[in-house]
Amino acid sequence: MVQKFVALGDSFTEGVGDVDLERPNQVRGWADRVAEVLCAEGDWQYANLAVRGKKIGQVINQQLDAALALRPDVVTLYAGGNDILRPSVDMDALLGGYAGMVRRLRACGAQVVLFTGFDTVDSPLFSKTRPRTAVYNELVRAMADDYGALLADYWRWREFSDLRYWAVDRLHMNEAGHTLMAQKVLGVLAQAGIVAPELPGRIQPPQLAEPAVNTRGQRLREDLGWAREHLVPWVQRRLRGTSSGDRLGARYPEYVRLSG
């Protein structure tokens, strides 16, 4: 029997940071990596509707109906990071809409995997958003309980605090991070009995380089280079009300079978 996996959300699920010039939008990402294992081990099909820069309202308005039309068996859903980074946000109102999205997906018969937000306690730039993320996480946990969704608990996966899992923009995971996340998501599916328990082991743990030992001067030069190349354009887009995903579409809007 064919089983269908649909991934929804923003840059996290699109795969930003895991560069692959041969793939749509030139990224691969954890969702592709999960799909590759599923397709290799069984009769699975995969669609990915996630687009970088999208906020919760945009995911609801632009991705939900398309996902429902695909009649998925499994849906992964993670959105809200771009809302949390805004100057002001009503988390209760936003997550109310998010809950409605989960309710509709569950009503169509799909199992839904939700994610908590990453703990930014060690990030000089994003640590001030930590209280918002904590509220987001509690609302997502309640949502998972209310609708019988599965939970991928990113907040508690402390290994992602290692900077070697992060891309040079310091906002997205790199190839190693996406590889580890794919293994984690397969673990959630295996624990729920949706996939065989050996499938997470089909993804080899990423090999990490030795930690860099930089002088204070080197760190300062790196920070200045990062600010010029990544922080300033990110701030400018927000001041203009634009997004890096404005001209991009879904990578896999219809079902495909992927091979690694």
The residue-averaged pLDDT of 139-159 equals: 97
Q: How confident is the model at residue 198, as a pLDDT?
A: 97
Judge contact between 180 and 208, C-beta under 8 A.
Answer: no
Helix (H, G, I), strand (E, B) or coil at 91: helix
What residue segments make up the domains of the chain, in order of their start? 3-210+248-256
Helix (H, G, I), strand (E, B) or coil at 116: coil
Query: pLDDT category, 121, cuts 50, 70, 90?
Result: confident
Query: pLDDT category, 127, cuts 50, 70, 90?
Result: confident
Residue with tokens 């290692």: 162
Structure-model confidence comparison of residues 218 and 182, the more confident one: 182
The residue-averaged pLDDT of 180-209 equals: 95
Q: What is the H or E stretch that residue 56 is in?
A: helix 56-59
Residue type, 150: L
Q: How confident is the model at residue 232, as a pLDDT?
A: 56
Share of the chain above pLDDT 70, in %: 86
**CB half-sphere exposure, 132, CA atoms < 13 A:** 18
Query: pLDDT category, 158, cuts 50, 70, 90?
Result: very high
Of 7-16, 90-99, 228-237, the least confident: 228-237
C-alpha–C-alpha distance, residues 189 and 211, integer Å: 32
C-alpha–C-alpha distance, residues 175 and 71, integer Å: 30
Structure-model confidence comparison of residues 103 and 89, the more confident one: 103
Q: How confident is the model at residue 24, as a pLDDT?
A: 97
Q: Please report the sign of the dihedral spanned by the C-alpha atoms of residue 23, residue 113, residue 72, residue 200.
A: positive
Question: Of 152, 159, 151, 155, whose CA–CA distance to 130 is shortest?
Answer: 155
The residue-averaged pLDDT of 201-206 equals: 92
Burial class (CB in 10 A: 0-12, 13-18, 19+), 93: exposed
- Please provide residue 179's backbone torsions phi and psi, each rounded to the nearest 5 degrees: -65, -45
What's the pTM value of the predicted model, to 2 decimals? Answer: 0.89
Instruction: Say if residue 246's pLDDT is above 90.
Output: no
Share of the chain above pLDDT 90, in %: 72
The residue-averaged pLDDT of 57-77 equals: 98
Instruction: Say if residue 152's pLDDT is above 80.
Output: yes
Q: Mean pLDDT score of the chain, rounded to an integer?
A: 90
Q: How confident is the model at residue 131, as a pLDDT?
A: 92
The residue-averaged pLDDT of 142-149 equals: 98
Q: How confident is the model at residue 237, as a pLDDT?
A: 61
pLDDT per position as a tens digit, 176-193: 999 999 999 999 999 999
DSSP strands (E only) in the chain: 3-9, 44-48, 74-78, 111-115, 150-152, 252-256
The residue-averaged pLDDT of 84-88 equals: 84
Top CATH class, 3-210+248-256: alpha beta
The residue-averaged pLDDT of 123-141 equals: 88
